[in-house]
Amino acid sequence: MRNTATGEDASFSVKRPEVARVLESASGEEAAVGRVIGDDYERLIQLRMAVKTGIKEGEPLYLCAECFTPVYLCCRKEERRFFFRHTKEDGTCSARTRGLLSQEEIRARSYNGAKESVLHQQMKQWLVDSLAASGQFTEIASEKRWTGRVTGAWRKPDVSAKWGDLKVAFEVQLSTTFLDVIAERRLFYLKEGALLIWVFARFDADARRLTQNDVFYNNNQNAFIISPSTREASMAEGKFLLECIWAEPRNEGQTPVLQRKRISCSELTLEPETQRAYFYDFDGERKKLPPAEDTRRTALAADFEGWWLRVAREYPSQYEQEEVVAGFPELHPPSWEALGPVAKYLPADYWLGPFLPVPLLNILYSAKHGKPIGLKRNLFIEVAHYAAENHPTYLPWFRKAFAVYNRGELLQEQDKTGKWRRRVAAYKKEMKALPELYAPDRTHQRLVELLFPELAPLP
Ligand SMILES: [Zn+2]
């Protein structure tokens, strides 16, 4: 998906959402749904769960910005596009989000339901047999009523058991299990201090259903399968064995790889407080990866600086420098190719227009190095005078750069005549009287942020 300045095109949002803007309860801020939905699928699936859980808890995260009804995230399956739907729709809002199911959908659902109920019964039995075979579980029961200690509400988990002191509920996930049910049960067992583990009959990497993802992405990217063969193996080995499918993180831009292995329940990490049970710690492993994006941006900034210092050395006048760098970014040092498409890390507007701001870059690099770069001056203080005199609209940034690179002392030392001190006093006065003269020129802001990240946030 294409990334644009607005982020709208890159979003998983449907093209023309009925609810176009939502109110974020926590901040009271209004936001376009394209931005809220965003372009990160994993984050989105986790958000979907959080939004649903908020509604179940009576603390909705998002409200329709028009009618203030709580809304939740739905997915248009065929195209993997998401939208917000009202929890209630009584006609008072102009946004219509609750269409009736088509006849076809209803038929498909009841057909799948009938087909799956047989499998469902079998899976419960396989679970019970496997748990019993291991000898590690007590109070193994199928379809036993579980009454909440605090709430008094009750559920009937497919299978329940005690694993040491921990009460565990197993639910078989079928294609007819929807997010509502998943969110609600998750919350119930969380409040019970118990752990809910979802099991699947199959888990197709290519055609993964959204409801499978609702479980998978909220379980540290681990999923479990119960089948006749895991049951047989459990009975033969006297262990509770499951087939685990998990994702292993890769560097940014690469799809995580799915792995599959038969594991024993004693290899699982159990986290009732997050309702996660996992064999492979996806989140933990991902944290160990270097942030690839940052690394590349830093490398590009370093390459750019190297190139700039070379140009500044070889071409003493700014006029010549402007000529040399005019072809940028189409013409950039070939060594940069190794970084991947340079374009990705450059502000988009550099492909359309403004030439590199030679004086701005010279002054900032001078501040960074504490000596004149690309300017025919002897002392750093002469650069400071040049900057203040000729580029008032960049002065707020230069001042920040002088502070960040600790050039105050150097300026003081080189200010033998006190001329700099007087100039500072004068422009400070003028900044107050005529602030519009010093309003920062933001044409090159994104470039400066890329090349001089230590100056962020720019005034
Ligand atoms: Zn509304």
Question: For the chain, give me the number of helices (H) and strands (E)?
Answer: 15, 16
> pLDDT confidence of 1, banded at 50, 70, 90?
very low
Query: For residues 392 and 438, is the Cβ–Cβ distance under 8 A?
Result: yes
> pLDDT confidence of 169, banded at 50, 70, 90?
very high
pLDDT at 299: 80
Query: For residues 364 and 373, is the Cβ–Cβ distance under 8 A?
Result: no
* Predicted confidence (pLDDT) at residue 115 exceeds the cutoff of 80: no
Residues 6+ apart with CB under 8 A from 189: 155, 169, 195, 196, 272, 275
DSSP state of 169: E
| DSSP-derived secondary structure for 391-427 | -GGGHHHHHHHHHHTT-HHHHHHH-TTSHHHHHHHHH
Ligand 1 centroid – CA 51 distance (Å): 16
Q: In 3D, which of 232, 230, 239, 264 has the Cα closest to residue 132?
A: 239
Specify the range with the lowest mean pLDDT, choosing from 19-23, 47-51, 63-67, 352-356: 352-356
pLDDT at 354: 59
Specify the range with the lowest mean pLDDT, choosing from 5-9, 410-414, 436-440: 5-9
| DSSP-derived secondary structure for 2-36 | ---TT-STTSSB-SS-SS-EEEETTT--EEEHHHH
Ligand 1 centroid – CA 66 distance (Å): 5
Mean pLDDT of 278-305: 84
Percent of the chain with pLDDT over 90: 53
DSSP state of 38: -
Ligand 1 centroid – CA 47 distance (Å): 20
Ligand 1 centroid – CA 220 distance (Å): 34
Most confident of 68-82, 186-200, 324-338: 186-200
Report the side by side order of strands in the sheet with 241-248.
222-225, 241-248, 257-264
What is the tens place of the pLDDT at every residue in 18-28?
999 999 888 87
Residue that wins the pLDDT comparison between 263 and 307: 263
pLDDT at 132: 97
With residue 114 as reference, give the H or E element that holds it: helix 103-134
> pLDDT confidence of 6, banded at 50, 70, 90?
very low
Ligand 1 centroid – CA 351 distance (Å): 41
**Helix (H, G, I), strand (E, B), or coil: what is residue 374?**
coil
pLDDT at 340: 60
Specify the range with the lowest mean pLDDT, choosing from 349-363, 386-400, 435-449: 349-363
What is the tens place of the pLDDT at every residue in 337-357?
655 656 666 666 665 555 788
Mean pLDDT of 4-24: 76
Residues 6+ apart with CB under 8 A from 240: 130, 131, 133, 134, 136, 137, 234, 264, 265
DSSP state of 99: P
**pLDDT, mean over the chain:** 86
DSSP state of 371: S
Reading the block at residue 371, the tokens are 């000596």
pLDDT at 398: 93
Ligand 1 centroid – CA 35 distance (Å): 18
Mean pLDDT of 311-338: 80
* Alpha helices, DSSP H, located in 168-244: 179-191, 210-216, 228-237
Ligand 1 centroid – CA 60 distance (Å): 14
Separation between Cα atoms, residue 11 and residue 293, nearest integer Å: 20
Mean pLDDT of 361-388: 95
* β-bridge mates for residue 261, sequence order: 244
Q: In 3D, which of 199, 151, 134, 147 has the Cα closest to residue 173?
A: 199
Separation between Cα atoms, residue 119 and residue 172, nearest integer Å: 10
What is the tens place of the pLDDT at every residue in 203-214?
876 666 777 888
Ligand 1 centroid – CA 24 distance (Å): 14
What is the tens place of the pLDDT at every residue in 183-202?
889 999 999 999 999 999 88
Specify the range with the lowest mean pLDDT, choosing from 58-62, 125-129, 166-170, 235-239: 58-62
Mean pLDDT of 85-99: 81
pLDDT at 111: 59
Mean pLDDT of 168-186: 84
pLDDT at 117: 75
Ligand 1 centroid – CA 339 distance (Å): 46
pLDDT at 148: 87
The count of residues in the chain is 459
* Predicted confidence (pLDDT) at residue 7 exceeds the cutoff of 50: no
CB-hemisphere CA count at 13 Å for 294?
A: 4
